[in-house]
């Protein structure tokens, strides 16, 4: 089975940035003075600059992903993706590493967030 581009990204800042953007809805994630920062919404809906957590390397931050999947009602798809990844390594899903959790969440979001373009060859009805 061929590896996807997402599977080739090592655990670290790039995977953290993808997780923050795709799963948590952060904007403008970039490196600033050696740390990864971005804009996230606070409870009032205002965009605030904040430091991106280490989702792909810190287990404490990785468990926030599961809570986010519950909020977005994507937990079933996330668990399915996570079980696929851990099954190939012959470990239980509960023992998944932080980077596996990140990849599963990004894949779960991609399944639901896909935009299907309209077929351009169809003609529009004339009035």
Least confident of 34-38, 39-43, 52-56, 88-92: 88-92
Q: What is the pLDDT of residue 125?
A: 52
Q: What is the pLDDT of residue 77?
A: 92
Q: What is the pLDDT of residue 49?
A: 94
Please state, rounded to an integer, the average pLDDT across all residues of the chain.
Answer: 84
- Is residue 27 within 8 A of residue 38, CB to CB? The reply is yes
% of the chain beyond a pLDDT of 90: 52
Q: What is the pLDDT of residue 57?
A: 92
| Segment 70-118, tens digit of pLDDT | 998 899 999 999 998 888 888 888 888 999 999 999 999 885 544 444 4
- Is residue 11 within 8 A of residue 99, CB to CB? The reply is yes
pLDDT band at 3 (very low <50, low <70, confident <90, very high): low
How large is the average pLDDT for residues 11-16? 91
Q: What is the pLDDT of residue 115?
A: 44
Residue spans of alpha helices (H) in the chain: 5-8, 13-22, 59-71, 75-88, 98-112
């Amino acid at each position: 089975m061929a590896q996807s581009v997402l599977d080739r990204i090592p655990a670290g800042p790039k995977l953290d940035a993808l997780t923050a953007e795709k799963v948590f809805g952060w904007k403008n994630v970039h490196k600033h003075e050696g740390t990864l920062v971005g804009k996230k919404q606070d409870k009032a809906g205002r965009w605030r600059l904040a430091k991106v957590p280490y989702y792909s390397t810190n287990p404490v931050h990785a468990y926030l992903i599961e809570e986010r999947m519950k909020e977005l009602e994507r937990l079933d798809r996330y668990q399915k993706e996570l079980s696929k990844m851990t099954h190939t390594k012959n470990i239980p899903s509960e023992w998944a590493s932080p980077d596996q959790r990140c990849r599963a969440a990004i894949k779960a979001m991609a399944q639901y967030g896909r935009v299907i373009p309209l077929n351009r060859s169809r003609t529009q009805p004339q009035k």
